[in-house]
């Protein structure tokens, strides 16, 4: 009788362990899916945005592109003398910025644009974009929660913050940041493009 009871209890405990493991695996899978759904940008684009912002802290007229050949193309607007004078410093900053990121294995290459080439509408837009990003960075640095930003598809501004909990105080900050960005756009753009603004939390989830 006692032996039968022990067998039943053993089977019950084993069943409980199986159920707990199944629940845990399901939760892990759901959590992973949620994280993927919440992320607005792949890690490559986030790292690229962080690199471009780092370069713009020191130099103007800088743009960064990625290629299918796993190249990071740093584009510099200026004459040959200026380009050569900053190239080594740009490379040093870039290597440090991409260290331990998904871009670490990318090859860094450079392109120089002549100042006169800004007459080309496409390149002029790139230059205008750089100045807009600089103005946005300068304005957003007043917020402690601001981390970095990126401009996606030229008219989508994504602002990365360190916000983890969207409480009442965070809501006030989010609204203030969005108002600041709108004012900077109105001041620094001459064309009629409509910009979409995304403010994201520490997990890259849209919060505005």
For 2-31, the pLDDT digits (tens) are 555 555 555 555 566 555 665 656 555 555
CATH code for the part of the protein at 42-119: 3.30.300
The predicted model scores a pTM of 0.47
* Three-class DSSP category at 42: coil
Q: How far, CA to CA in Å, does 41 sit from each of 8, 73, 152?
A: 52, 19, 9
For 176-201, the pLDDT digits (tens) are 999 999 999 988 876 556 888 889 88
CA 131 from centre of chain? 18
Residue 146 pLDDT greater than 60, yes or no: yes
* Three-class DSSP category at 71: strand
Query: Hey, where are the domains in the chain?
Result: 42-119, 144-208
Q: Can you give the pLDDT at residue 175?
A: 94
For 58-91, the pLDDT digits (tens) are 776 788 888 889 999 998 877 788 788 889 999 9
Q: 101: exposed, middle or buried (C-beta count within 10 Å: 0-12, 13-18, 19+)?
A: middle
């Amino acid at each position: 009788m006692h032996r039968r009871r022990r067998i039943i209890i053993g089977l019950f405990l084993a069943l409980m362990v199986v159920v707990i493991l199944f629940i845990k695996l399901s939760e892990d899978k759901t959590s992973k899916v949620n994280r993927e759904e919440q992320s607005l940008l792949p890690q490559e684009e986030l790292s690229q945005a962080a690199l471009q912002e780092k370069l713009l802290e020191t130099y103007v007229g800088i743009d960064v592109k990625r290629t299918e050949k796993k190249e990071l193309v740093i584009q510099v607007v200026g004459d040959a003398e200026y380009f050569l004078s900053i190239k080594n410093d740009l490379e040093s900053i870039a290597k440090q910025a991409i260290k331990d990121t998904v871009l670490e294995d990318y090859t860094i290459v450079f392109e120089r644009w002549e100042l006169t080439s800004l007459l080309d509408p496409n390149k002029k837009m790139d230059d205008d974009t750089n100045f807009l990003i600089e103005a946005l960075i300068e304005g957003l640095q007043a917020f402690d929660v601001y981390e970095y930003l990126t401009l996606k598809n030229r008219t989508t501004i994504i602002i990365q913050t360190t916000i983890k909990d969207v409480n009442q105080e965070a809501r006030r900050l989010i609204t203030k940041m969005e108002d600041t960005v709108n004012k900077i756009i109105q001041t620094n753009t001459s064309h009629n493009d409509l910009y979409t603004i995304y403010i994201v939390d520490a997990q890259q989830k849209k919060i505005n």
